[in-house]
Amino acid sequence: MPQLNPSPWLMTLVMLWLVFLIFLPPKILPHTLPNKPVIVDNKKSMASPWNWLWH
């Protein structure tokens, strides 16, 4: 069964994980967001009551 033979894909998998874990994080981590996060005000606004015409 060729599915059980790890030789064709094991080295590719190991090299790919090495790239992901060693080379990419130093290139990705220095990037910053273009906009700083804004803190949202959680206060509820006081809604004015509706003036119904039939009251």
pTM: 0.45
Task: Dump the DSSP string for the chain.
Answer: -GGG--HHHHHHHHHHHHIIIIIHHHHHTT---SS---PPP-PPP-PPPP--TT-
The tens digit of pLDDT for each residue in 1-54 reads: 566 777 878 899 999 999 999 988 888 888 887 888 788 776 776 677 777 777
pLDDT score of 37: 79
CB proximity list for 39: less than 8 A, separation 6 or greater: none
The residue written with tokens 């959680």 in the block is 42
Token pair of 53, please?
Answer: 């015409």
